[in-house]
Structure 1
């Protein structure tokens, strides 16, 4: 992951994190197979209630809402490298088990657990938890959703109060407490949604039975939730209404079309674009009277908007044209069609208005409206490593190789920005700064739009998980979050300019699919620039058709730091010609070069090039000469000398080259 975030840890701090993670893993192993033991239900519920109340008071005092904001002093740390697969079983094939039958450090394959929430939800930085009850009133336990706790922009534990846990995993959480832990969003199902914020107070499970609603009543409940802007609950009620209609023999067509059309609208708001399109097309009446044509036009518009947001511009054009056939003259639709023409030009010719994209960044929150231009590249096996990106035709120096919108980006000034320290037990407990917020955002996008899953799964990661194909069970995609973790770790980029309040705790990061295939070289032939989340890749020299496109993952001139970063973050040692040359320098020479480069940086920071006098220019030239003397002329022939870059640019700017 290439980011602008840096963290410095003392050996003692690093050892403390590694020891804590290793000790927790050992405790889990020691308790493996131990039977569930009853706990003090009153104390556990009081713990959750007190923690939730303290959070509410803190947020109210600070004028905040939602999840905890980043601490200025701490960063969350957790262990990785002990993955397990999500459940791929169907609910109907699982055997119901009791809470009292669960065992420690066990994945209860072939079973499903029915639980009721009996406490408020406690939201922590990396997880949420609540107390849940089994079939008996005195059977309670902690249920914790780690990292991926959101469903349709709502906390899943808060959105529901009765849950089904597929093949539950009972373990110790990061604080060493026993818990039923959810790592994969598809392993938890809401069986009763939470219309009443106080529903958790009802301890008798018989009180939790939701009264049977007709499809029409579900539609009304959905409409009410939509009016209240509770889109997650609206989506749930519309979905339940459609389920009731199917159970009752499909029901009246007009009601079915209305619910599908309404759910399409909500799905569009929730960025569930795949389902928004499917719902809109299913809602079509294909009637001939004006009211039916108007409703169908509305459905086509929603389908077109969703397709546009997915980047499926050809489909979007078709849907918008169908809308105009039914109800001509829509100005908004005509605007969309004009934008589609621009997107198609960008895709075919690489013709972008970069100045306009730059001006739009404040309004678009760093996500300018643009298409991908990738036709000059192709992905194939690389002699360097795995798959690589290759030129499809000759590309001249400074020409655009490709432009790509981020699949997903999280900016440091957004609430979703969240970095963590991960301790990977697969790699000698290596500690890395990991963009946990980006990981959450990628998983959420894939859960909402399964059509996007396979192109992400095709990217390199250390853990194969469920493979590279889409799996769906019980009507939802199955996303292996451990697999996505490794893909994000190995493929994410730092995302351009840093906001003023950004540091390693909330670094801006993004995932670009096509760019992720570009392999590393310290002397690459391409460089990237960013216009918000639009990445532009340009050739630094002429690239011939069939030649692999390479760029530098880490551009520091410090060989030792660069080698360490490449190994720690991406898991490889670079053997390009520059690294081979630098490796032959003695440690003393590398140290001297680094010191001289730092002297040059201090000089540049404190001395303006414009109007510089002869004394300043001579000093700059002496610095340049001193740095040059650290390079062996024969060994570094035709190789970049990065330590010289800053001082060379200053001398050129001073006009005294």
Structure 2
């Protein structure tokens, strides 16, 4: 992830770091010692009483978690989360998993090939980074703790509060950081909420079952209980699509698909909305069928548009117009699609109009990505990179990309934590709110999974390419976290001030392939969540495109950031020169650069007085004097860049 600015800096004392490290390592040691041991039985009355008390305390204290380490930054208190212990999600359907009981659980064990059905037995304790409750098995003989980590909500509702019965796929039984035994859920797809328990009704009753569940879905939709309404429609479709019903009443499944299309749009499950809209088509020529199909094509087109599939969207709206010529909404959509297709093909954007339409309430751009002037290729020593397909002049646009996912600082999803990674023993500031949002979007729209999973991350998963089971999409949250950590960008303070706890961050998939250089040939600009990449010098066809991941003029700070965040040491010509500097010269340069930053905060370049300009010139010269002329020949002098930009724009009052 690109580095945050100084306003988002979080400082940890050596004592705080040591305390976090000792706590985590002690827990890992205890887990190792207990691995494979039989679970200790809990007293149900005591367990429920403790969970009830903890729930009341959480309600009074908000979402802060007294059992998670906290540290303070300039913007507030941040929790410290442990990462770096990845394991893959279950990629097997429930029907292929063998049932087990709570009594069968073994400590610190992933029970592969098994499934566990439990029912909630206590209130849910809802905290910032996790939710937990007590659960019992089917017969109520055993009770245990169930914890969902980080990805605690679906469709705005805490997942543990959304149902009373759950099936856990391949249960992971381990210890919390405080040493308490728990069933732990890290992958949302490993926990199945059971809203419906349908008996095998037989073929004769299938249509009756389908209609009954559709009525339930309609009622829940009116009550705006969307997740359960979706579950009812889904079960209704399963019954309606049985062969006997399909032969007898093919319109029933289409009718249910229309209802579920609407719910899917409200839940932002665009993939399924598109599929349902297409499944509801009758292809008949009577007037009523044409009206229904017109609405289906409109829904399919809207879904394709939201997914960025503009040609598919165009085809759907054109088919709608064949059924209902002159439809105003379809024509309006087609005009917007033509704009998106032009943006994709030639990179033509109405920047003034786009900027005028942005606000804190509407921070995202309705635009397509223009990436066809670049291609993905092998970058020696760096893995993959992006290369220019044509010659590019300075200030020309190389590419424009709409973000896959952005979390703005003023949105409730914006949440930053300190993460302690046990793999390299490092503590980092991490925008975990962005990670949660990416996972949520991928669960809702699994067609987008492959392009995100293709990005680089330290954890590569188990090599399985299973993104879907009978129960729905499968997302490896550990893999997404690592991809986000290596590829996310600071989206800038475009809408309000931010602190350490709520930085604006986003993931731009294509831009993520661009490699770093301290002497870049391109620079990023932002218009909302649209990233523009401009050339800073001439770029020849076939030349690799570089940006700088960290713009600090302080060599030591930049070196630390590149290693901590991206895991490499830069050996470009600029870093080589700065590495050879006398430490005293580097220190003086940084002190002068700090003075220059303070000057720029005080003085605006517009109509600056001559005396002010002279002071800026002297300050720029003083910084320049810290550079060795021979060693820095032909290299940028990063510490002077901002004040020289100011001088280039400044003019004395007349």
Q: TM-score range by the shorter chain?
A: over 0.9
Counterpart among 381, 386, 409 of residue 378 in structure 2:
381
Q: Which moved more, 1:555-564 or 1:296-305?
A: 296-305
Q: Which moved more, 1:440-449 or 1:491-500?
A: 491-500
Deviation per residue, 1:65-115 (Å, 9 max, x gap): xxxxx9974212121111111112221121111111101100111111011
Specify the alignment match of 2:145 in structure 1: 142
Specify the alignment match of 2:97 in structure 1: 94
CA contact 1:78–1:174 (8 Å) conserved in 2: no
Specify the alignment match of 1:461 in structure 2: 457
Specify the alignment match of 1:417 in structure 2: 414
Alignment of 1:151-190 (within 5 A): 151-190=154-193
CA contact 1:438–1:510 (8 Å) conserved in 2: yes
Residues 93, 433 of structure 1: alpha-carbon distance in 2 compared, 3 angstrom cutoff: same
Specify the alignment match of 1:587 in structure 2: 583
User: What secondary structure sits across from 2:499 in the alignment?
Assistant: coil
Counterpart among 519, 530, 537 of residue 534 in structure 1:
530
Counterpart among 621, 630, 642 of residue 634 in structure 1:
630
- State the shift of 1:193 in Å: 5.2
- State the shift of 1:597 in Å: 1.2
- State the shift of 1:57 in Å: 5.5
- Work out the CA distance in 2 between the residues paired with 1:162 and 1:71: 42
Q: Which moved more, 1:280-289 or 1:480-489?
A: 280-289
Specify the alignment match of 2:70 in structure 1: none
Specify the alignment match of 2:505 in structure 1: 509
Specify the alignment match of 1:450 in structure 2: 446
CA contact 2:3–2:550 (8 Å) conserved in 1: no
CA contact 1:99–1:135 (8 Å) conserved in 2: no
- State the shift of 1:242 in Å: 1.2
Alignment of 1:192-207 (within 5 A): 192=195
- State the shift of 1:53 in Å: 3.8
- Work out the CA distance in 1 between the residues paired with 2:524 and 2:179: 44
- State the shift of 1:590 in Å: 0.4
- Work out the CA distance in 2 between the residues paired with 1:607 and 1:106: 61
Counterpart among 227, 230, 241 of residue 225 in structure 2:
230
- State the shift of 1:228 in Å: 1.6
- Work out the CA distance in 2 between the residues paired with 1:634 and 1:30: 60
- Work out the CA distance in 2 between the residues paired with 1:354 and 1:641: 32
Residues 477, 613 of structure 1: alpha-carbon distance in 2 compared, 3 angstrom cutoff: closer
Specify the alignment match of 1:198 in structure 2: none
Q: Is residue 2:331 matched to residue 1:334? A: yes
Specify the alignment match of 1:570 in structure 2: 566
CA contact 1:222–1:233 (8 Å) conserved in 2: yes
- Work out the CA distance in 2 between the residues paired with 1:319 and 1:611: 56
Specify the alignment match of 1:199 in structure 2: none
- Work out the CA distance in 1 between the residues paired with 2:528 and 2:47: 46
- Work out the CA distance in 1 between the residues paired with 2:614 and 2:504: 40
CA contact 1:146–1:183 (8 Å) conserved in 2: yes
- Work out the CA distance in 2 between the residues paired with 1:102 and 1:622: 72
- Work out the CA distance in 2 between the residues paired with 1:626 and 1:157: 61
Alignment of 1:67-466 (within 5 A): 73-192=76-195, 214-247=209-242, 249-250=244-245, 252-362=249-359, 365-427=362-424, 429-466=425-462
User: What secondary structure sits across from 1:104 in the alignment?
Assistant: coil
Specify the alignment match of 1:559 in structure 2: 555
Q: Which moved more, 1:624-633 or 1:239-248?
A: 239-248
Runs of 4+ in 1 over 6 A off after TM superposition: none
- State the shift of 1:373 in Å: 0.3
Output the TM-score relative to the length of structure 2: 0.92
- Work out the CA distance in 1 between the residues paired with 2:437 and 2:544: 31
* Number of positions where the alignment pairs a residue of Structure 1 with one of Structure 2: 631
- Work out the CA distance in 2 between the residues paired with 1:287 and 1:568: 61
CA contact 1:380–1:388 (8 Å) conserved in 2: yes
Deviation per residue, 1:271-309 (Å, 9 max, x gap): 211111111111112222222211111111111100000
RMSD: 2.3
Q: Is residue 2:596 matched to residue 1:600? A: yes
- Work out the CA distance in 1 between the residues paired with 2:142 and 2:75: 39
- State the shift of 1:174 in Å: 3.2
Deviation per residue, 1:34-72 (Å, 9 max, x gap): 211221222322333333344456679xxxxxxxxx997
Specify the alignment match of 1:201 in structure 2: none
- Work out the CA distance in 2 between the residues paired with 1:467 and 1:561: 36
CA contact 1:153–1:232 (8 Å) conserved in 2: no
Residues 115, 227 of structure 1: alpha-carbon distance in 2 compared, 3 angstrom cutoff: same
CA contact 2:359–2:495 (8 Å) conserved in 1: no
- Work out the CA distance in 2 between the residues paired with 1:571 and 1:150: 31
Output the TM-score relative to the length of structure 1: 0.92
- Work out the CA distance in 2 between the residues paired with 1:434 and 1:522: 23
Deviation per residue, 1:404-442 (Å, 9 max, x gap): 001111111111111111111111x10011111111111
User: What secondary structure sits across from 2:301 in the alignment?
Assistant: helix
Residue segments in structure 2 that go unaligned for 5+ positions in a row: 64-72, 198-204
Residues 498, 45 of structure 1: alpha-carbon distance in 2 compared, 3 angstrom cutoff: farther
User: What secondary structure sits across from 1:74 in the alignment?
Assistant: strand
Residues 572, 308 of structure 1: alpha-carbon distance in 2 compared, 3 angstrom cutoff: same
User: What secondary structure sits across from 2:629 in the alignment?
Assistant: coil
- Work out the CA distance in 2 between the residues paired with 1:495 and 1:612: 30
